[in-house]
Structure 1
Amino acid sequence: MRLAELLGIEHPIIQGPFGGGLSSVALAATVSDAGGLGSFGAHHLEPDAITEVVRDLRGATGKPFAVNLWVPQATEREPVDLAPHIARVEPLYRRFGLEPPRDVVVPGFTDQADALLAAAPPVISLVMGLAPRWLLDAAHAKGIVVLGTATTVEEAIALEECGVDAVVASGSDAGGHRGAFLRPVEHSLVGTFSLVPQVVDAVRVPVVAAGGIADARGVRAARALGADGVQVGTGFLATHESGATEAHKVALGGQDARITVLTRLFSGRHARGIHNRLIAELAAEEGAVPPYPYQNGLMRPLREFAAEQPLADYMSLWAGQAAPLSSIRSAKDYFAALLEP
């Protein structure tokens, strides 16, 4: 129970953090109140909004919770000429009577991290890279636990060496964005149940298994492979309390969720989601889209429009490979089901 002791929780189950508005205070608080670690994805938020989220989480639960940020990669901060990319997405926008965005504004990671450290949540989780030394030092000085995310054994070792308190071993089964940072995503696609025992053997800090874990069978299997706990994403995304649209939740438990693919089309970063019409239509452009955060900004208005309609064929339906095991129910009931012997 090393992980539970480290995090101050009863059950070593972490609710995966969702960015882009899919997280909710209600979901994180419900999981934390049930004895797990609720999480909130904040990589898309401005600093003031991060401060507000931490305040709201404190007001909603007296138990530990986590807030997640993405560590930026160097190539994602290089200037990009948006003009040809705007022209490329314009026909798609015109199809729905929309105007594509003309610029992309991105919150700065340092400002986000400073706001998060000032708000001092019990746990900070990071994906996409190594935790900067200044962030780790400041977090530990405040008694904040820091989790890092690895997609390979080499990344797990690097995270331990940089000083994180625990490593989330995220297998290629997982839904949403891939966090590879030492090698290209295409060279870092290790399945969860191959990755976990190798990471357990390679590091001394607690290891959290993530990806393709959607029911009590997956929880037991991950623990049998040596994981100190699990992180569950897609199953919680399907619950009533998540910020996902009803169309997204329905899709997670449907037959279409049996086919998930990695795509850069929605954000500029590889992410696993349910194959739909937009992915099929734009498949030839996978290599042409600009990196995150530029493609993410260019596609955001279309994603938001599709979610409002709803038009599932044009939504980013993030889903892990175990999505068909999920069902729409309360987060409290789902959490209890994960604990079944």
Structure 2
Amino acid sequence: MGSRTALGAAAAALLAGSVALVTVVTDGSGSASPVAAQAACVPAASGSSAVDAGSGEIDGYSGVQLANARTIIDTGKAMGLSVRGQAIGVMTAMGESGLRVLDHGDAAGPDSLGLFQQRGNGAWGSPEDRMDPGTSAADFFKKLQGVQGWAELDPTIAAHRVQRNADPYHYASYWPAATAVVSALEGVNASDIAGGTACPAAGGSGDDLPWGAGPVDATSPDGMFTRECVDFALWRVNQELGSTTFPFKVLNSTFRPDGKPLGSALTWKDGWDARGWPTGKDPEPGAIVWYAPNVGGAGGLGHVAVVKAVNTDGTFLEEGYNGNPAPNDHAYYTRTVRSSTPSAFLYVPARKDFGLAS
């Protein structure tokens, strides 16, 4: 857990989270997956008139790549997909093949083919289907439409639900280029592709902890030790309440109305109870995931994380800090967890119901 020189051993025990939640993972997404926050933001530029796919270059893509993007867009439109859905298709093909129809796979999927690197497992048709840009795009979009709430998910998560690759954030870095390509080819505003905003002021997007690249166990602006599980979780709580810059609405020292610190992961449910905030057994996006001591692989101080997305198969996507063994501790991670594994979920009330002073 690192040294605790900033505030002494007693204070460290009060503020620290726990590590090594190694038993709750249900698929291959448990490794740390740092993602720059800006990767999910849409370019500010917008297209006022469509350009031809055969002319010039758009964000590093040209020629046959843009022709394939054009096919993906047209296929999505024919199937009734929104421009955002079309961009998710383009993003996915960028991340899988660089917008090229590949006749080979890789070590993880040697039988993968085509724009979307679809596997030869019977779910994606014949080799000819997978090598055909229009057919492979249609098959991708059919499965995307079957993902519950796909339009409200982060684009990389929506793509991951279809592709089922190991890292759910694999596609995030391709989203800006995908929106630029679709914006240019379709002549639409990039903000329309994003769903109305270029870069949200509140909420979270991957590894966006402002001091996440700094030292471990310094004192953070929210009063926790930096890069501990509780530090990232309290940052997310502040984001949900619309507080994204210092001074933050909620601090370790001011969260509880009885004057006690919010403290380590061990005491977070007590903190919720003291404030009268709701808790329960069902995951909801944005809720704090609370593990009591020695539950789900947590240590003696428990662990807290955040619900990133809820799946339809009884699992949820968890994000947090300090949830992997060394040397990947004190870093951002995501993992898929069974909904029955945590001890409780701690819900953040709507901003209008939040009673603390600004």
TM range (shorter): under 0.3
Query: What is the TM-score with the length of structure 1 in the denominator?
Result: 0.23
TM-score, normalization by structure 2 = 0.22
Question: Which gives a bigger RCO, structure 1 or 2 (Cα 8 Å, sep 6+)?
Answer: 2
- Which structure features the higher share of helix residues? 1
Answer with 1 or 2: which has the greater Rg: 2
